[in-house]
A = this chain, B = another copy of it.
Amino acid sequence: MNKKPTIKEVAKYAGVSPATVSYVLNGVKKVSNETKKRVLEAVDQLNYYPDFTAISLSKRKSNLIGIMLPLIEDTPASVFKNNFYYTEFVSGVELVSRNRKFDTMITGVGNPEECRQWVKKRNLDGLIFLGLFPEKLYNEMKTLNIPIVLIDTYEKYTNLFSNIQVNDELGGYLAASHLIELGHKDIAFIATDLKSSPVDAKRYQGYKRALQETGIKFNEKLTYQTYDITFEHGKKVAEEILKSEQKPTGIVTVSDVLAIGIMKALQMKHIQVPNDYSIVGFDDLSISEYTTPSLTTVRQDIFEKGKYAANLLINAIESEDVEHQTVELPVELIIRQSTKAL
């Protein structure tokens, strides 16, 4: 209906040229106080606010940041993969970007070309990559010439891009140490993929360090990989454990989701947690306090991670800063009901 006013209308109302209005609004060139006042008055009267599309076209800057998620596929199953994690993270990003006058777009990633087109088509000012992506994509990123923040990424890229990590090694260490203190000696480690996931690998290191420091012999047979993070995959690995000859009494996992799946599978076979098995999760998702038994876990503040990522990214965008920063957020052991002294 009542179309929003353009800068020209504001200019006419204030009796100046459009350029002057632009200068006042951007504060990039000196304008007399008198004129400035008139322009601001006009802006106020007409309820003017600039058209980001136009700004984007002329400045090549969109006030838009993109979040890349590794996979949002058609099948519900894979959409939900990790979904708790994603939501909390995205909420954090959205919050700070909104406060800082940026808008947020989300997409699943296809190939590198698709990614580049997305950025170029929309003039994206910055990008957050959540999780792990095909190698080719990282090369593509460098040619994009916009600030990029990587979350939970490969070690080798931490010098090339800003990135946010969590003290994963310590997390693994805390989880294992907790079980050891409770008297456990046969402690399984459940990862998704130790080769491809650096996050898992570091937690694994921490786990091994805890064993070593207390003189417990590391047993390869107690390491499992699920290759995916779903409740279902947790269930499957529990069955493997039950079939194995080397039975653990304690289980360290890389995700609450996996831990919950494992607990469920055990309980369905009337095996008790924590009486028969002690289980430690990772993340401290909101659900983890409400499972039965509630889950002992290594907490990381995912929401905070999202906020941090957005601030880091927008700082880089606004300051044209080329420094790459590596940030490590803390972890904390939360002891609940799923672990118990042997």
Contacts and interface: CB of A to CB of B under 8 A. Distances in A.
How many copies of this chain does the complex contain?
Answer: 2
A88 to B, nearest CB: 7
A260 B84 CA distance: 16
A71 to B, nearest CB: 10
B105 A103 contact: yes
A49 B267 CA distance: 55
A247 interface: no
A56 to B, nearest CB: 5
A314 to B, nearest CB: 16
Q: Is the interface of A mostly helix, strand, loop or mixed?
A: helix
Q: How big is chain A's contact interface, by range?
A: 35 or more
A52 to B, nearest CB: 5
A263 interface: yes
A53 interface: yes
Interface stretch (A17-25, A173-181, A198-206, A284-292): A284-292
B105 A290 contact: no
A161 interface: no
A104 interface: yes
A329 interface: no
B104 A105 contact: yes
B107 A94 contact: yes
A313 to B, nearest CB: 16
A83 interface: yes
A93 B226 CA distance: 29
Contact of A108 (B56, B94, B231): B94
Top 5 closest pairs, chain A to chain B, by CB: A79-B91, A292-B292, A87-B87, A52-B121, A83-B87
A143 interface: yes
Among A52, A62, A72, A143, residue most surrounded by chain B Cβ atoms (within 10 Å): A52
Given A1-B143, A84-B83, A121-B50, A98 B104 contact: no
Contact of A51 (B83, B87, B120, B264): B120
B292 A263 contact: yes
Contacts of A106: 90, 94, 104, 106
A150 to B, nearest CB: 20
B107 A103 contact: yes
Nearest to A83: B87
B290 A261 contact: yes
Given A53-B57, A72-B94, A292-B264, A286 B88 contact: no
Nearest to A304: B76
A74 interface: yes
Contact of A264 (B56, B90, B104, B290): B290
A95 B108 CA distance: 8
